[in-house]
Amino acid sequence: MRAIHPADARRAGDARGGRGMAGLLLVAFVPACGAPPPARDAAPPPVVAGRVEPDDDAAVTIAATPFVLTDQTGRAFSSDALAGRVWLGSIFFSNCPGPCFRENQAIAEILREIADPDLVAVSLTCDPDTDTPEVLRRYADRFEADPARWKFLTGDLAVIKQVGQQTFRLPVELGVHSERGVVFDRRGRLRGGYHLLQPDRLELLKKLLRDVLAEPAAGTDGEGAARPAAAPEAGP
C-alpha cells in the first residue's frame, strides 16, 4: 500500500468510518512538536484511522506486547492491570511546545465527560529521560489527573517504542509522536483511533469509547473483572 499524507488518511479513513481493517492506513511519517524525523530507513507503522472491527483476523491486541512501565506515582504499572477495562492510549512528552498540552486537554475532557471507572487513559512519554515519575506527577497535576484513571507512563524507550508502534499502531521515536488517541476494549483488542486535536474526530472518539464501554465483556463478571472462561475462545 502506498504511503499517503496524514490529512488524506484522515479523510479517507475517518470520513467513511474506517470499517474493518480498512481503517488501518499506512500514512507518511510526520514528526510532531518540531522534532527531527527518524532515520530514512525507519518504516512508518500503520496508523489507525477510524473504527476497527473486533472480529477481524488481523486485529491487534495488547497481548502482543505486554509491558511493565512506571507511572507518575513512581509505581510499576503492568499492562495486565488493563484486563477487563476499556482504555485510551496516547503518546506525548512534557516538554512538547504546544500540541501535547492540547492533546492532554482533550483526554482530560473525555475523562470528565465519560465518568465510567472502567475507562482508563494510558499516556506514554516519548522522552523518558526527561519525563521521570516526578516530572510526570507535576505534569499530571496540571490536568487534575486521577492516577487511578489516567496513567502517565515512563520507562525504557525501547519498550515505549515497541508498545507504541506494534500495539498502539502509532509512530513514536524520541520526541516524535502521533496526536491520535487509540481505543482498546475489555479484551485488549484495538478498536480504532482518531485525532485528538480535531473537534469532529474527538467527538467520534468519544462515541467509540461509549460504544465499547456499553459492550458486554465475554468472560467477565458484572464488575468488569476477568474470570476464567469455561473453554478457550477461538480467534484473537
DSSP letter for each residue of 81-112: GGTTSEEEEEEE-TT-SSHHHHHHHHHHHHHH
How many domains in the chain? Answer: 1
What integer pLDDT is reported at residue 53 of this predicted model? 82
Q: Which domain holds residue 190?
A: 55-198
Residue 22 corresponds to which cell in the numbers above? Answer: 480498512
What integer pLDDT is reported at residue 64 of this predicted model? 81
What integer pLDDT is reported at residue 218 of this predicted model? 63
Does the residue 212 lie in any domain?
A: no
Question: β-strand 180-184 against 86-92: which pairing, if any?
Answer: antiparallel
What integer pLDDT is reported at residue 3 of this predicted model? 33
What integer pLDDT is reported at residue 44 of this predicted model? 56
Does the residue 92 lie in any domain?
A: yes
Does the residue 236 lie in any domain?
A: no
Does the residue 230 lie in any domain?
A: no
Give the global pTM. Answer: 0.75
What integer pLDDT is reported at residue 2 of this predicted model? 32
What integer pLDDT is reported at residue 236 of this predicted model? 27
What integer pLDDT is reported at residue 24 of this predicted model? 40
Does the residue 80 lie in any domain?
A: yes
Residue 60 CB neighbour total at 10 angstroms = 24
Does the residue 204 lie in any domain?
A: no
What integer pLDDT is reported at residue 147 of this predicted model? 96
What integer pLDDT is reported at residue 43 of this predicted model? 61
What integer pLDDT is reported at residue 230 of this predicted model? 28
Low-confidence spans in the chain with pLDDT less than 70? 1-45, 56-59, 218-236
Does the residue 147 lie in any domain?
A: yes
206 in Cβ contact with 114 (< 8 Å): yes
What integer pLDDT is reported at residue 83 of this predicted model? 94
